Amino acid sequence: MPKIDAIFKIVLKEGASDLHMVSGAKPMLRVQGEIRPIDYDEISADLDKRSFRRDHERRTERRIRSGR
**Average pLDDT of the residues in 16-35:** 92
This prediction has a pTM of: 0.62
User: Residue 2: how many CB atoms within 10 A of its CB?
Assistant: 11
Q: Tell me which of 16 and 42 has the higher pLDDT.
A: 16
* CATH architecture of structural domain 3-66: 2-Layer Sandwich (3.30)
What are all long-range contacts of 17-21, with beta carbons under 8 Å and residues at least 24 apart? Answer: 21/48, 21/51
Pairwise pLDDT comparison (19 vs 51), residue with the higher score: 19
